[in-house]
Amino acid sequence: MRLALSLMFTATLLSAQSSFAAPPQSTPIPSQTSNAAPTILIPAGTQVGLELTRPVWAASAKPGDLFYAETVVPVSVNHQTVIPYGTYIEGTITSFTKPARKSKQALFHLQFDKIIFPNGYTIVLTKPAIRALVTVKVSKNNDLLLDNGAQITMPLRSPLTLNATEITQAISLAQAPTPGDFVPATLCRPTPGDPGSPGTSDTIIPGSPATPDTIIPGADGAPDIVIPGMPATPDTIIPGLPATPPTPPTVCPDPPVVLSSVAEHSSHARATSSSSTLKK
């Protein structure tokens, strides 16, 4: 009886030990002593939606100017957020074409240089450069070529590796932008116009008529006494208000609208970045 119980206990112990056995060598166990930080990989082809946080003015824009944009929709990979709300993108306008008299489009060549996460974690985008070609519907009468809130896309042409710990911290600090964060910057404000006024006529205050001299005859050969009369006073004229001409209403051109934002091939970017076409 004791032998049977001993054999049963030994079999149970071996079964329990086998359930906690090390996995096969094809599934490596992460090293507890490794100093390598965990990483997150964003695959090539990922599209990052952005909205501009600083306008591009028609009068002063030039190649080499920086632009800034913000993520308004988180980017996820396998249902995991990898680029949260409020992540800023810094880039450079490498070249652009202004709208001409017969063209109502502006063409921008943009290069994305940095990703700045809400916790300050910064990724410098080097090789290969990330570039986009942005087509904007805009009039030559607009004071802006790109307004606050203009929607553009940053295309990832190669995989991007991020520090998972930094991303976790960034997500905890992320805040979704509000519509008030993207107030239009245009200086053109429509006005209803002014019909003008007909003016008012002069106000005339009549003056007083002249009074004749008063003559008191002298007595006993004395000369007459003459008391001079009062001269007339002229009318007093208070000028009326002049008429004002009507003012036509101010009609502002339609705001710029981004028609497309697509990845730009590196060969085309090198050709266009060497010279900028500024049509007036």
**What DSSP assignment string belongs to 175-237?**
----GGGS--------B--B--B---PPEEE--PPP-PPEEE--STTPPPEEE--PPP-PPEE
Cis peptide before 253 (omega within 30 of 0): no
pLDDT confidence of 162, banded at 50, 70, 90? Answer: very high
- For the cut 60, the answer to whether the pLDDT of residue 17 exceeds it is no
Indicate the residue type of 8: M
Q: Where is pLDDT greater, at 225 or 105?
A: 105
Decide if 221 is inside a domain. Answer: no
* Domain count across the chain: 1
Domain containing 148 — which CATH number?
2.40.128.260
pLDDT number for residue 218:
80
Which segment of 15-19, 95-99, 152-156, 249-253 scores lowest on mean pLDDT?
Answer: 15-19
Decide if 222 is inside a domain. Answer: no
Specify which residues 197 forms β-bridges with: 244
- For the cut 70, the answer to whether the pLDDT of residue 9 exceeds it is no
- For the cut 70, the answer to whether the pLDDT of residue 277 exceeds it is no
pLDDT confidence of 266, banded at 50, 70, 90? Answer: low
CA distance 91 to 111: 5
Which segment of 90-104, 154-168, 204-218 scores lowest on mean pLDDT?
Answer: 204-218
pLDDT tens-digit profile of 108-130?
999 999 999 999 999 999 877 89
The neighbour count for residue 20, using CB atoms within 10 Å, is: 6
pLDDT tens-digit profile of 54-71?
999 999 999 999 999 999
Q: What is the DSSP letter of 179?
A: G
Q: What is the DSSP letter of 60?
A: T
pLDDT number for residue 210:
87
Decide if 54 is inside a domain. Answer: yes
Locate 222 and state its tokens: 């004395």
Q: Where is pLDDT greater, at 178 or 66?
A: 66
Locate 68 and state its tokens: 């800034």
pLDDT number for residue 219:
81
Locate 174 and state its tokens: 């992320």
Decide if 233 is inside a domain. Answer: no
Decide if 108 is inside a domain. Answer: yes
Give the pLDDT mean for 42-50: 95
Give the pLDDT mean for 95-111: 92
CA distance 133 to 150: 14
Domain of residue 124 covers 38-187+253-273
Which segment of 24-28, 46-50, 195-199, 240-244 scores lowest on mean pLDDT?
Answer: 24-28
Mean pLDDT of the chain: 82
41: left (phi over 0), alpha (psi -120 to 50) or beta: beta
Give the pLDDT mean for 127-147: 92
- For the cut 50, the answer to whether the pLDDT of residue 227 exceeds it is yes
The neighbour count for residue 158, using CB atoms within 10 Å, is: 12
Decide if 278 is inside a domain. Answer: no
Locate 55 and state its tokens: 């306008």
pLDDT tens-digit profile of 180-209?
789 999 999 898 888 888 889 989 999 889
Decide if 18 is inside a domain. Answer: no
CA distance 178 to 197: 44
